[in-house]
Amino acid sequence: MLLLRPTARVAVEGGANAVPELTMIEIKEVLRRWQAGQSERQIGRESGVDRKTVARYIHWAVELGIAKDRELDDGVVHAVAQCVQTRPVPDATEGWRAVAEHRDAIEKWLSDKPPLRLTKVHTLLARRGVEVSYATVRRYAMQELGWHKKKSTILLEDPPAGQEAQVDFGRMGHLVDPQTGRRRTLWALIITLSFSRYQFVWPTFQQTTEAICEALDQAWWFFDAVPATMVPDNMKGIVKKPDAVHPELCNAFLDYVQARGLFVDPARVRRPKDKARVENQVAYVRESWFAGEEFRDLDDARQSAAHWSAETAGRRIHGTTRQVPREVFETVEKAAMQPPPTEAFDVPLWTDAKVHPDHHIQILRALYSVPTLYLHKTVRVRADKKLVKIYFATEFIKMHPRKPPGGRSTDVSDYPAEKQAYALRSVDRVLAQARERGEHIGRYAERILGGPLPWARMRAAYALLRLCDKHGAGRVEAVCQSALAFDVVDVKRIKKMLNAATRAPAAPQQGKGAGTVTQLTLPRFARDPKHFETRPGTAGNEEDAK
């Protein structure tokens, strides 16, 4: 079996039989001079190649039947090189063969999750009676099994103009926060357009969803355009549940991309090559923009990063494309992108909430009412700076204005109809209900709720209305009329008077098949008002005096 050695110009170990390996251009020069009629000594002297080596190449050129007038193309030169530079592969040593007998076991040990260290593999082979050096095991694993051998890669084509932006956080260093006086870690969110390589850098102390949305909006205003898709890292502010095929985005960020018309394709976990165009820019940003600089505060760093993005990184000749990113963006890519947003995005809070028996849910320490139909159920809530929207599954239930902590937004229509008045604690509404039941009942309710603190006597007014429901408005009207005449404002007295009142018997049934006629209960004090007049000078008192 013959093995073609690499064509590097090094001498192969082998003492006197060592054969210098020439490159293609050197072999062609030797053969060209041979065809021109130069001697081996002259060729060696003028080309710098050993005379014996010249003789070997000329020998094999003659053996292959290469005429002196034949064109020396790459095929001819390669054929001569193969004859000179190939040699038989030495037989495997005894230790190599011993290791090869356990190939399957070694391959399994090195492919386990997690794989075994090669030192452990060497130990396990020794237990099986394979007494070889660690270097032999290492050479076998590298040559036969590809252990620690770099895998081949594929150079992907750039996406179309305006199609993709890659996003990643990079750790820059430390910066003193003037608000707290603490030395904090400074991060930079880097947004790189894949087609033009134009990029934007936004320094920040946080990696929350709010910070990411703010940085992205700043990038779209910097570019004055929005790409169709973005490829972010699996940062927690964007991705809720990483997955190679179906990643789950955070609800707040999903709300953001829907508002901006973006599509998101997160990179796989621990796969930096999925976003290589921004990944290899982190070190460049740290060294070119941040290193050695001094910033007063975060705002100063952000202004510096924006200027650096436009004037330094944007106007350099990119190492891969060999073009100026800003020029490519302005002339080609920008026209293919969407228009930028007109205002900053209000990042919402998405959460679940239980509807309590009082018809309210608690969101950010404020209360919001929900209709009776959803009592004791769990609803989905979206709260931004202005509105709170409530959903049940896919059904939109309610919308309230956002309240500060400790506030409450209650829609009385969410309560049952019979409890709405009680919930409002409206004095006017209670008085209106009392007047509907009778004139004197309304006047009696006015006496109850009169004064500077009507809410303190609301229960008494409610009790009066319940007496109307229990005993009838007519009886209560008569009792209230009498009580007002005696200036008695006490609902308990009204109740006692109603309970002590006599009831008239029901009328007997008249005729076969006739319906039952019930005599309405007469009020106890349904008599002429003169019987209750106690003021002197009235007609009743004059007659009594006679």
| Average pLDDT of every residue of the chain | 87
Within 8 A by CB and 6+ apart from 184, the residues are: 174, 175, 176, 177, 205
- Which of the residue ranges 56-70, 186-200, 210-224, 496-510 would you say has the lowest mean pLDDT? 496-510
Alpha helices by DSSP H, listed for 112-207, are 118-127, 134-144
Tell me which residue range forms the domain holding 21: 2-88
- Which of the residue ranges 2-11, 90-99, 223-232 would you say has the lowest mean pLDDT? 2-11
Residues 184 and 329 in one domain: yes
Residue 538 pLDDT greater than 80, yes or no: no
Residues 112 and 179 in one domain: no
pLDDT at 519: 46
Amino acid code (one letter) for 396: F
Q: What is the pLDDT of residues 368-393, one digit of tens each?
A: 999 999 999 999 999 999 999 999 99
- Altogether, the residues listed in the chain come to a count of 546
Residue 257 pLDDT greater than 70, yes or no: yes
pLDDT at 151: 79
* Residue entry with tokens 């054929």: 79
Question: Nearest to residue 122, comparing CAs of 146, 144, 143, 140?
Answer: 140
Q: Percent of the chain at pLDDT above 70?
A: 86
Q: What are residue 190's DSSP bridge partners? A: 168, 201
Torsion from C-alpha of 419, 421, 422, 424, nearest 10 degrees: 120
Amino acid code (one letter) for 411: D
pLDDT at 501: 72
Tokens representing 442 are 């309304």
Residues 225 and 276 in one domain: yes
**Within-domain flag for 462:** yes
Alpha helices by DSSP H, listed for 15-164, are 24-35, 40-47, 51-63, 74-85, 94-100, 103-111, 118-127, 134-144
Q: What is the pLDDT of residues 317-335, one digit of tens each?
A: 999 999 999 999 999 999 9
> Within the chain, what is the greatest distance between any pair of CA atoms?
174
Q: What is the pLDDT of residues 134-182, one digit of tens each?
A: 999 999 999 999 998 887 778 888 899 999 999 999 999 999 988 888 9
Residues 477 and 387 in one domain: no
The DSSP bridge pattern shows strands 263-264 and 229-232 to be: parallel
Residue 240 pLDDT greater than 50, yes or no: yes
**Within-domain flag for 511:** yes
- Phi/psi for 73 (5° steps) reads -85, 180
CB-side neighbour CA atoms (13 Å) of 48: 3
**Within-domain flag for 150:** no
Q: Which of 267, 301, 336 is the last residue before a domain boundary?
A: 336
Residues 179 and 324 in one domain: yes
Q: Which of 398, 416, 434 is the last residue before a domain boundary?
A: 416
pLDDT at 55: 94
pLDDT at 525: 53
Amino acid code (one letter) for 118: L
Confidence of residue 87 (pLDDT cuts 50, 70, 90): confident
- Which sign does the torsion angle of CA 89, 94, 95, 100 carry? positive
d(CA 240, CA 396) in angstroms, rounded, equals 24
**Within-domain flag for 153:** no
**Within-domain flag for 173:** yes
Residues 99 and 122 in one domain: yes
Burial of 174 (0-12, 13-18, 19+ CB in 10 A): exposed
Tokens representing 77 are 């030169």
Residue 299 pLDDT greater than 50, yes or no: yes
d(CA 27, CA 31) in angstroms, rounded, equals 6
Residues 409 and 265 in one domain: no
Segment holding 460, helix H or strand E: helix 458-471
Of 494 and 532, which is predicted with more confidence? 494
* 320 in Cβ contact with 284 (< 8 Å): no
pLDDT at 214: 97
CB-side neighbour CA atoms (13 Å) of 38: 18
**Within-domain flag for 156:** no
Residue 471 pLDDT greater than 60, yes or no: yes
Q: What is the pLDDT of residues 405-456, one digit of tens each?
A: 999 999 988 988 766 656 666 787 888 888 999 999 999 889 888 877 676 7
Angle at 41 between CA 37 and CA 47, to 5 degrees: 80
Residues 129 and 193 in one domain: no
Residues 279 and 223 in one domain: yes
- Which of the residue ranges 8-22, 84-98, 164-178, 499-513 would you say has the lowest mean pLDDT? 8-22
**Domain count across the chain:** 5
Burial of 130 (0-12, 13-18, 19+ CB in 10 A): middle
pLDDT at 178: 86
**Within-domain flag for 373:** yes
Residues 328 and 365 in one domain: no
Residues 269 and 175 in one domain: yes
Residues 127 and 246 in one domain: no
Residue 502 pLDDT greater than 70, yes or no: no
Tokens representing 501 are 């009142």
pLDDT at 518: 41
**Within-domain flag for 155:** no
Q: Which of 40, 72, 88 is the last residue before a domain boundary?
A: 88
